[in-house]
Structure 1
Amino acid sequence: MDMLTLFALCAVGGSAVGLLNGMLGVGGTFIIIPLLDAIFIRMGMDTAVSHVMAVGTSPSTTLFTCVAGFLAYRKLGSLRFDILHRMAFGIFSGAVIGALLAPHAPTAFLKLLFYAIIMVVCGQITFPLKRFEREKEDLRHLGLISFFFGILASMSGVAGTLLSVTYLNWRGVPWAQAVGTGVGLGLIISTTSALGYVISGWNVPDLPAWSLGYVYLPGTLCLILPSMIMAKTGAWLIHWKKFPVAAMKRAVCTLLMAYAVVMTSRICMGL
């Protein structure tokens, strides 16, 4: 695959990632990882390495997307620093552990974990569980749950924003505030995970040129600019009163669940 084709694919994928990050607070790894995985295989990379490489490159991209989203939500007043402070250390420590464990886990396990999290979280968004307290936030055990989210996010590649936003909204935090806070948590996870995958893959032989450990720099660079631009657009849309937020969330999550079910079935059948 030539660099022009790589750039074109990453530009389209990056635009979708940025838009969804701004609207849903998700880093877009469910787009980036399958895209990069397919690109790496076409480049001749071994399938046992391609997925880890895709998962490792993904946070280096969502890092910049989360920076754009973080600044946008802080300006809009939807970033809850009280929640962010309580979850930051758990997210950080969990992401470190997950990044160091992931290269040693079976590829099939990592892929199944990736699609399982998509199905569970998107299912909760599409068919939401009743909140424990509708008129009062219930934010107990944030430190413990954030540590768990950090491990899952770092190992699966599904940025913790997707998990955190769903959890916080379920426990009574308004959607826009949950998204804004989730973007802040995603910034921590992306930074930690990217560094972790650089370290864990530093001495691995036969990785592509222009790689830092398990981070493929050309893929990162091609995804950054369109994702950052569209992240600001998504943040603006979510605060536009006429924008159909509920319908948009259900449509996106229904498509993601269908995709995850198909890919899980293919993995289980050995395809």
Structure 2
Amino acid sequence: MDAILYVIALVITGIIAGFASGMIGVGGCFIMVPVQYWLLVSEGLPSTLAIRVAFGTGIAVTLPTVMSSAFGHHRRGAVDWQAAVPMGIAGACGAVTGGTIATLLPGQTLKTFFAVLVILMGVRMVWDVKECVACPPRQSLLVFLFLGFCIGNITGLAGVGGGVVLIPILVILLHYPVHTAVGTSSACLIFSSAGAVATYLWHGLGVSGLPPFSIGYIDLLQWAILAGTTIPLSVLGVRYAHQCPTCILRYVFAGVMFVVGVLMLVTG
């Protein structure tokens, strides 16, 4: 593939992923991972290596994004650190577990798991979550640890943040206000994303056939382009979040998730 087209594809992907992250609070891995995978395969990388690099690089892009998001929510008092810290620590452990498993599984298995998860995320996107205003948040250390470990496993195994799963659980089952759930989820994902990044970096060291400028399963070239567009666009997305009909955006991105998931299932 021509180098200019390669860069343009990543820039457009970063714009979409960043805007989605800022507008509706979802991570952009649902679009970053497939595009990275297809680009790497088009360059001749074996599918198993391509999907692992896509996972590792995608979650590495997510890390600074959730850090920025969590800091913004913290400034507004919308992070419950008593929940975020234990969930995050357990999430980091889960991410190491999931990431280690991902480095052992065949590429086709990982691709199928990711595709199914993205389709389910699309279904979740059109599911309107209602918060219980009269109910106080439930606090349980064991529940926090269990949730964190499960979300961390998803992060490590599929290269996605997991906030789209964690937020409705915090709102529906633990009665958190939506804004606090989003902020707490972002803070938790700092830990699990960091654990996943470290795992993909470590297990990829010494692996032959990786793209140039890679550290482990993290492609620094792709990371620089995606992070350089995703982070500023997420800030712009937040700015315009209240100026567009959120329900329409949710349906649009849900449709994109469904199409991406199906394409990942049917393509090589």
Q: So what's the TM-score if we normalise by structure 1?
A: 0.87
2:103 aligns with 103
Q: Return closer, same or farther for 1:126/1:114 CA change in 2, 3 Å cut-off.
A: same
1:151 aligns with 153
Q: Which runs of 5+ in 2 are unaligned?
A: none
2:33 aligns with 33
* Residue 216 (structure 2) pairs with residue 213 (structure 1): yes
Residues 116, 261 of structure 2: 8 Å contact kept: yes
Cα distance in 1, alignment partners of residues 25 and 139 from structure 2: 19
Cα distance in 2, alignment partners of residues 208 and 263 from structure 1: 21
Cα distance in 2, alignment partners of residues 101 and 115 from structure 1: 17
Q: Which runs of 5+ in 1 are unaligned?
A: none
* Residue 205 (structure 2) pairs with residue 202 (structure 1): yes
Q: Which segment drifts farther, 55-64 or 122-131?
A: 122-131
* Residue 210 (structure 2) pairs with residue 244 (structure 1): no
Q: Return closer, same or farther for 1:41/1:263 CA change in 2, 3 Å cut-off.
A: closer
Cα distance in 1, alignment partners of residues 264 and 139 from structure 2: 34
Q: Return closer, same or farther for 1:111/1:255 CA change in 2, 3 Å cut-off.
A: same
- Deviation (angstroms), 1:128: 4.5
- After superposition, residues 1-271 of structure 1 pair within 5 angstroms as 1-128=1-128, 135-136=134-135, 137-138=137-138, 140=140, 141-171=143-173, 172-238=175-241, 240=242, 243-264=244-265, 266=266
Deviations 1:109-149 (A, max 9, x none): 21122122222233233135777x66323455121121011
Q: Return closer, same or farther for 1:85/1:102 CA change in 2, 3 Å cut-off.
A: same
Cα distance in 2, alignment partners of residues 32 and 124 from structure 1: 19
Cα distance in 2, alignment partners of residues 211 and 3 from structure 1: 17
Residues 72, 235 of structure 1: 8 Å contact kept: no
Residues 95, 195 of structure 2: 8 Å contact kept: yes
Deviations 1:151-171 (A, max 9, x none): 122111121222222322333
Root-mean-square deviation (Å): 2.3
Q: Percent identity?
A: 22
Deviations 1:216-258 (A, max 9, x none): 11000111121111111223334x3x54223322332233134
Cα distance in 1, alignment partners of residues 129 and 68 from structure 2: 30
Residues 25, 165 of structure 1: 8 Å contact kept: no
Q: Return closer, same or farther for 1:177/1:3 CA change in 2, 3 Å cut-off.
A: farther
Which amino acid counterpart does residue 210 of structure 1 have in structure 2?
Answer: F
Q: Return closer, same or farther for 1:162/1:88 CA change in 2, 3 Å cut-off.
A: same
- Deviation (angstroms), 1:3: 3.6
Q: Return closer, same or farther for 1:244/1:178 CA change in 2, 3 Å cut-off.
A: farther
Q: Return closer, same or farther for 1:35/1:258 CA change in 2, 3 Å cut-off.
A: closer
Deviations 1:170-220 (A, max 9, x none): 333233322222222222222221111110010111212211011111000
Residues 125, 249 of structure 1: 8 Å contact kept: yes
Residues 92, 193 of structure 2: 8 Å contact kept: no
How many residues matched?
264
Residues 200, 216 of structure 2: 8 Å contact kept: yes
Q: Which segment drifts farther, 158-167 or 56-65?
A: 158-167
Deviations 1:34-85 (A, max 9, x none): 1110110111111221111111111111112222222332234333323212
Cα distance in 1, alignment partners of residues 258 and 4 from structure 2: 31
- Deviation (angstroms), 1:2: 4.2
